[in-house]
Structure 1
Amino acid sequence: MTARFPEPSTDAPLVVFDFDHTLYDGDSGSHLFKWLIERNWWRRVLALLIAPVAGPMVAWLPTRRSGISAFVWVGTLFLSKARLHRTRDFNAVIDQYVVLHAAGIRTRLLPVALDVLHRHREAGDRVVVATGAPPELARAIMAFVAHEDVPVIGTVVGPKFGAIGVVRHCHSHMKMTMLRDAGYTQPVASAYTDSSADLPLLQAAQCPVVVNPKASSVAMFRRVLPAGTPILNWGCPGRSGDPA
């Protein structure tokens, strides 16, 4: 059952959590699309064929949306014959994935992170998850596995060349734009993320907190964020940060 928390007031402090490597140990979108691609042998072959081009695109920020979109397209090609309802069908497949993998997903949710999220909700803060994953994925995981009913802002997908592609990637500066477009216009009180791509979010926050960063990013975070910014590890193996 979902825990009961105070209803945030319109002027409550805004608290933004990233999802992957922040609340969830790993890249939830990659796990979903790996499952989608591995359903059919021809999807696996097609993914291997595009990987030499799309893989490096994912690794480079300016082309990341296009690279991710290519793998999303492979995973959702011929997903449904109902063209006008394909995004809805895609969300239904996401829900199916979460139900089928609930036990494994539960082990990836980070207890320390969920405790911090709970404390903010208990304090009456306005908590939102902003993620590069499809919003239905994070929403389903939070609701079905973690029993949390927090709002989610995520990457928008839509019909593309007979499948699904990325329309608007909730990433870097676009994450801030999408938060504002969704009505979260007040100053960000606290922000939690692992990603250097989320610097716009961290720099906008009155209290930025870096969690589970890559070791190679720690020096950069210390250089560009205010002195004393916490850099913590919430139990994410292979990532850096001071023990929580």
Structure 2
Amino acid sequence: MQLVTVDFDGTLFQGDSFKLMFQAGRKEFGIKELATVLIGTAQALFLGITRGKHALRIHFFQAFAKTFKGKTEEELASFFDELIAAGRNQINEPLVHKIKEHQESGKQVIILSGALKPFLDALIEKLGLTVTTIGTELLFDQDGRCTGATGPVINGEEKVRAVANWLDKLQLDPEETEIWAYADSESDIPLLHFVDKPIIVNPKDGMREVAKAKQWPIFGEN
């Protein structure tokens, strides 16, 4: 079996999803909700400086999740639709085409990202893709209302665990599965080492140097 994982931020999506979430928040949130996000983001930025990008992502998503507390998936749909409308023109269309090629050749495809899973699901539907999504889960109670909390942020080593868990759930042997990964950042390096075919997308200078040293191919470059 062949499995292809595709990162979202910086890879399938070429813009800044944090900025998109702010834009959608300004349109959808009231003063109290927006204040929660602004305070949480300020704390996230501080953690990003002191503890790194992973800590920033965790705190940022936690701040947004608090504003969703008590809402159903249906009630959240307009927020995620706003994200998609704002970011649709920043989708990496050549990579979307490549995903479809992989599917046509029989490969399984997973969109694997720290982005919120409801956002990934809504976006994939808009793109007309039928793929698995693994992202940061919003947690819901037994009545189907958001608790204001998230599951683990799927970033760094958590991506490796997510792929391993997916294979285990389907009772697939990693040794008999050829795994590809399209990713863009240094936080993806654990996953890129884990897979058989790492492919770098839209690398910044630091990641380009890593790719060169590791002899990892760069998507769209010969």
TM-score normalized with structure 1 length: 0.73
Pick the aligned partner of 1:149 from 110, 127, 130.
Answer: 130
Residue in 1 that maps onto 2:150: 166
Q: Is 1:232 aligned to 2:219, yes or no?
A: yes
Partner SS for 1:231: coil
Q: How does 1:127-206 map to 2 (within 5 A)?
A: 127-143=109-125, 145-158=126-139, 164-183=148-167, 185=172, 186=174, 187-206=177-196
Aligned partners of 2:37, 2:99: CA distance in 1, in Å? 36
| Structure richer in helix, relative to its length | 2
Q: What is the aligned-residue RMSD (CA, Å)?
A: 2.8
Percent of aligned pairs sharing the same letter: 21
Deviating beyond 6 angstroms after TM superposition, the runs of 4 or more aligned structure 1 residues are: none
Amino acid at match of 1:149: T
Please give the residue correspondences for 1:70-149 in structure 2 after superposition, counting only pairs within 5 Å. Answer: 70-76=62-68, 79-80=69-70, 86=71, 89=72, 91-100=73-82, 102-143=84-125, 145-149=126-130
Query: Structure 1 residues 150 and 203 mapped into 2: Cα distance closer, same or farther (>3 Å)?
Result: same
- How many residue pairs get aligned? The number is 209
Deviations 1:194-229, CA, capped at 9 Å, x for gaps: 121111111122211000122232213323x3x2x2
Q: Distance in 1 between matches of 2:75 and 2:186?
A: 30
Q: CA deviation at 1:130?
A: 0.6
Deviations 1:24-52 (A, max 9, x none): 12243652355236522233334333444
Deviations 1:159-179 (A, max 9, x none): 69x952232111111111112
* 1:210 aligned onto 2:200: yes
Q: Alpha carbons of 1:109 and 1:149: their partners in 2 closer, same or farther (altered >3 Å)?
A: same
* Residues 33 and 164 (structure 1), Cα distance of their counterparts in 2 relative to 1, 3 Å cut: farther
Q: 1:199 to 1:50 in 2, by over 3 A?
A: same
Alignment CA distance shift 1:135-1:44 (3 Å): closer
Q: 2:39 aligns with which of 37, 49, 60?
A: 49
Which sections of structure 2, spanning at least 5 residues, go unmatched? Answer: none
TM-score by length of 2: 0.79
The question of whether the paired residues in 2 share the 8 Å contact of 1:58 and 1:66 is answered with: no
Q: 1:65 to 1:103 in 2, by over 3 A?
A: closer
Tell me, what secondary structure is at the counterpart of 1:132?
Answer: strand
Output the CA distance in 2 between the equivalents of 1:98 and 1:51.
19
Give the Cα–Cα distance (whole angstroms) in 1 for the partners of residues 206 and 54 of structure 2. Answer: 20
Alpha-carbon distance in 2 for matches of 1:188, 1:197: 22
Q: Is the 8 A contact 2:45 2:56 kept in 1?
A: no
